Structure 1
Amino acid sequence: MTVSRRRVLGMTGAGVALAGAGVAAGVGIDRFGQDAPAHAATDLVGFHGEHQAGIVTPTQENLHFAALDVTTKDRAKLAKLLHTWTDAARRMTAGQEVTPGGAVSGAAAAPPGDTGEALDLPASSLTLTIGFGPSLFDGRFGLAGKRPAALVDLPVFPKDKLDPARSGGDLCIQACANDPQVAVHAVRNLVRLGFGVTEVRWSQLGFGRSSSTSRTQMTPRNLFGFKDGTNNVKAEDADLVRDQVWATEADGQRWMAGGSYLVARRIRMHIETWDRETLQGQEQIIGRTKGTGAPLGQAQEFDQVDLHVRGEGGVPAVAEDAHIRLASSETLNGAKILRRGYNFVDGSDGVGHLEAGLFFIAFNRDPRKQFIPMQNALSSKDAMMEYVQHTGSAIFAVPPGVREGGYWGDGLF
């Protein structure tokens, strides 16, 4: 039995789920005062905890990502909005309306307190994750001295063709859910609550996760038809997550301890060109077999990549310009990232090609040591760059999780 917003209005996010990727059970009261039966609330992800949900949480099937600009210069208004957003996020991730009975039971002469498109839908493992962009730390809010050193402005990498209208932002909201309407509802309502303080700079819908963040999940395929993210950092790799994902106080800013850094890249995939490439050519470009996902020179998907194995004539099985070679931790002096990307198809480009690709999201402890060196190598040497183009770019500091009674970014403000 799933949990709908009509049947859990008496619950709170902390009372119905474990922090992070856990599950729980509970009894709720629906908005007409009737007892909801006890059940296993397997579609709820806990909101409170040391880290924000939506990072190591098992990746859901759908995404709505929004970057926003702050339109006020009033620090108090911004802090108040973050508090308001947090309260709304607690409710929505618990399968509730933004305000009790907000969609249909409020004053008839006033706008509803909830837009209503998620009524009767289950929580769908909704997670909401917030981040702060470099531009938030300018002179408007007195935060310049609290900008983390790792929150650098991303460089323009070779072959980038960035659209300013798809890049940057003072704030970001990442909504992930197994129902796309639940994710869209969450972002829509946070944007609505921000009227007069924030406005949307750009947004992106994503479907079909392109990575796994747990060993309980199968490796998905991207729009090139290949398994994507086989070697991704997994939630179960506790030491690796600690070292490669979570920032610490020793990294320079106390308020970021337990947080991470989110890099978002909108990657257009020239799928029509790719579809004319031979199977052998595709596999050499990626460095894996298309069927099993095994690294070239190996038998199974999760076999260790061996960059030194040789094929016929002594030629490396994994080419020097293969994607998995250039992105490997061996090539990058041990650096890894936690990927959490999604496929997208945004109509056509007006000249007969699908506007399709990968909305790449990565979490890492320090982009200067992890994402940036990786992308420098890929953008300058990767054979796959002939078939992709990066059109959007952004970076955000993702603060730690919210404690009971706290709000997003309270350590910063």
Structure 2
Amino acid sequence: MDETSTPETPAPHDGGSGGPERPGITRRGLFGLVGVGTAGLAVGAAAAVGTAAAVDAATAEGDGSGGVHPFYGEHQGGIVTPAQDRLHFAAFDVSSTLDRDGLVGLLQDWSAAAVLLTQGLEIGEGGAVGGSDYAPPSDTGEALGLPAAGLTLTFGFGPTLFTDADGVDRFGIADRRPEALAALPRFQGDALQPAWTGGDLAIQACADNPQVAVHAIRNLSRIAFGRASLRWSQLGFGRTSSTTRAQQTPRNLFGFKDGTANLKAEDTALVEEHVWTGSGDGPAWMTGGSYLVTRKIRMIIENWDRVQLQEQESLVGRTKGEGAPLSGGTEFTEPDFSATGATGEPLMPTASHVRLAHPDQNGGARMLRRGYNFVDGNDELGRLDAGLFFISYQRDPADFIAVQRSLAADGLNEYLRHVGSAVFAVPPGARPGGYVGSGLFA
């Protein structure tokens, strides 16, 4: 529920899509277009170019059954792309036997598969049902007949990809690690669990159909077999922020509107300033990229549900219905932190979330948020294991760190437990014929 001011700026630009949204096509279309290996097969650049051209031609004659965001582009998709409703996020550990060429091959294979998956196509020779009767299908098939559903795939590199926990430079890239990419510091109140923390590689799959997102991660995990294994993954539903002005502000599991003041794709100048890395920010291979922070935040739902409405609003700093700041106005009115009530007390409580997270309280730090609600069943005491899977993109993780430290005094902390944490460098988008992160190995 972090606050990020969003003054009006010029025209919308979805840098992550690589072009305008186009009609979708079914996953049976262009059957068997390109074969993608599931155990170490590297896909050549020429094949990737041919795939993109064929997919573009097919999509132009699509049946309109789902939105399509092309994989190639200046920036990776899934950042300023209109936030989809569903998430499957996965962090991977690279095999101890993998060498530099093997890592490059994995990224090439993932990129070639992502081109097809984001178009709503099957992957591999024969796809799910058209291959040999005596071999496992190349595609797992649970998305057969479904459209692309706005799928985006976003790839990131963790600090441990550059040097592992023992300080070993496994791939000869330690000297190319951006200075900004370092494990996040411990924050007050952290209750981090190793099972939900860290990772060498990350893939964020967002879609408007949960099965499409799960299918993507499942098949990319399968392609990685023997080269990288899942460290942890998280399903999410009900986005907790908007990334365009056309989207209504959603609600989190506390029942409050979340992300009212999030950066939007239309805020092109602010996105350029606060999301995308510039040419002077670090190594050249990261120019046009971003930094991804994830935090798995468990909400103590049962305790919150016993809190009086007035206190809930005071803790958040907004009304629960309209989402207006307690200093007055409507949802998108800028909070007035100098306003006081009849007793002389600030109308925006000093320990309220909105006040502590606002850019004015954090040296102007802003980020673009793409979080999701989650419910992972219940714990051993019968309480909901539920909360917010926080995702933010920022030009420098230092911005997230500044805000999180400010939130040490947040009154909401009584009802929150941070149990997972990770940070990843997100390289710029891949070009046709290339693969994501290619600049790192140039």
TM class by smaller structure: over 0.9
- Summarize the Cα distance change of 1:350–1:14 in structure 2 as closer, same or farther, 3 Å threshold: farther
Specify the code of the residue in structure 1 equivalent to 2:436. Answer: W
1:263 equivalent to 2:293? Answer yes
Identity of matched residues, %:
57
Q: Work out which of the residue numbers 274, 279, 284 in structure 2 matches 1:254.
A: 284
- Residues 65 and 147 of structure 2 are in contact (CA less than 8 Å); yes or no, is this contact kept in structure 1? no
SS at match of 2:303: helix
1:152 equivalent to 2:152? Answer no
Cα distance in 1 between the residues matched to 2:193 and 2:144: 36
Please name the residue that 1:372 is paired with: 401
SS at match of 1:79: helix
Cα distance in 2 between the residues matched to 1:349 and 1:130: 31
- Summarize the Cα distance change of 1:6–1:320 in structure 2 as closer, same or farther, 3 Å threshold: same
Cα distance in 2 between the residues matched to 1:40 and 1:110: 33
Please name the residue that 1:302 is paired with: 332
1:226 equivalent to 2:256? Answer yes
Please name the residue that 1:82 is paired with: 107
Cα distance in 1 between the residues matched to 2:103 and 2:319: 49
C-alpha RMSD of the superposition: 1.6
How many pairs align?
396
Please name the residue that 1:115 is paired with: 140
Cα distance in 2 between the residues matched to 1:12 and 1:73: 27
Q: Residue 3 of structure 1: CA displacement?
A: 2.4
Residue by residue, what CA displacement relative to the aligned partner does 1:211-231 show, whole Å, maximum 9, x if unpaired? 001101000000000000000
Please name the residue that 1:55 is paired with: 79
Residue by residue, what CA displacement relative to the aligned partner does 1:145-195 show, whole Å, maximum 9, x if unpaired? 010011021011000000011100000010000000000000000000000
Q: Residue 7 of structure 1: CA displacement?
A: 2.7
Moved more, 121-130 or 102-111: 102-111
Residue correspondence of structure 1 range 347-386 to structure 2 within 5 A: 347-368=377-398, 370-378=399-407, 380-386=408-414
SS at match of 2:206: strand
- Residues 291 and 426 of structure 2 are in contact (CA less than 8 Å); yes or no, is this contact kept in structure 1? yes
- Residues 5 and 121 of structure 1 are in contact (CA less than 8 Å); yes or no, is this contact kept in structure 2? yes
Using the size of structure 1 for normalisation, the TM-score is 0.93
SS at match of 2:190: coil
Residue by residue, what CA displacement relative to the aligned partner does 1:218-256 show, whole Å, maximum 9, x if unpaired? 000000000000000000000000000001120011000
- Residues 14 and 47 of structure 1 are in contact (CA less than 8 Å); yes or no, is this contact kept in structure 2? no
Cα distance in 2 between the residues matched to 1:386 and 1:229: 21
Q: Residue 16 of structure 1: CA displacement?
A: 6.0
Please name the residue that 1:43 is paired with: 67
Cα distance in 1 between the residues matched to 2:201 and 2:181: 13
SS at match of 2:343: helix
- Summarize the Cα distance change of 1:143–1:215 in structure 2 as closer, same or farther, 3 Å threshold: same
Please name the residue that 2:10 is paired with: none
Using the size of structure 2 for normalisation, the TM-score is 0.87
- Residues 284 and 319 of structure 1 are in contact (CA less than 8 Å); yes or no, is this contact kept in structure 2? yes
Specify the code of the residue in structure 2 equivalent to 1:374. Answer: V
SS at match of 2:270: helix
Residue by residue, what CA displacement relative to the aligned partner does 1:23-47 show, whole Å, maximum 9, x if unpaired? xxx646xxxxxxx955447510121
Please name the residue that 2:215 is paired with: 185
Please name the residue that 1:401 is paired with: 429
Please name the residue that 1:32 is paired with: none
Residue by residue, what CA displacement relative to the aligned partner does 1:378-398 show, whole Å, maximum 9, x if unpaired? 1x2000000001000000000
Q: Residue 299 of structure 1: CA displacement?
A: 2.2
- Residues 14 and 46 of structure 1 are in contact (CA less than 8 Å); yes or no, is this contact kept in structure 2? no
Cα distance in 2 between the residues matched to 1:27 and 1:193: 25
SS at match of 2:91: strand
Q: Residue 101 of structure 1: CA displacement?
A: 3.2
Residue correspondence of structure 1 range 83-102 to structure 2 within 5 A: 83-102=108-127
Residue correspondence of structure 1 range 309-324 to structure 2 within 5 A: 309-324=339-354
Q: Which runs of no fewer than 5 residues in structure 2 stay unpaired?
A: 1-22, 34-49, 164-168
- Summarize the Cα distance change of 1:27–1:408 in structure 2 as closer, same or farther, 3 Å threshold: closer
Please name the residue that 2:266 is paired with: 236
Cα distance in 2 between the residues matched to 1:182 and 1:326: 37
Specify the code of the residue in structure 2 equivalent to 1:337. Answer: M
Q: Which runs of no fewer than 5 residues in structure 1 stay unpaired?
A: 18-25, 29-35
Cα distance in 1 between the residues matched to 2:53 and 2:419: 39
Cα distance in 1 between the residues matched to 2:184 and 2:52: 35
- Summarize the Cα distance change of 1:109–1:395 in structure 2 as closer, same or farther, 3 Å threshold: same
SS at match of 1:313: coil
Cα distance in 1 between the residues matched to 2:225 and 2:286: 27
SS at match of 1:375: helix
SS at match of 1:411: helix
Cα distance in 1 between the residues matched to 2:296 and 2:161: 21
- Summarize the Cα distance change of 1:193–1:16 in structure 2 as closer, same or farther, 3 Å threshold: closer
Please name the residue that 2:29 is paired with: 7
Residue correspondence of structure 1 range 130-209 to structure 2 within 5 A: 130-138=155-163, 139-209=169-239
Cα distance in 2 between the residues matched to 1:302 and 1:14: 43
Moved more, 123-132 or 92-101: 92-101
Q: Residue 110 of structure 1: CA displacement?
A: 1.2
Residue by residue, what CA displacement relative to the aligned partner does 1:336-392 show, whole Å, maximum 9, x if unpaired? 010000000001011020000000000000012x100100111x2000000001000
Residue correspondence of structure 1 range 210-221 to structure 2 within 5 A: 210-221=240-251
Cα distance in 1 between the residues matched to 2:189 and 2:344: 32
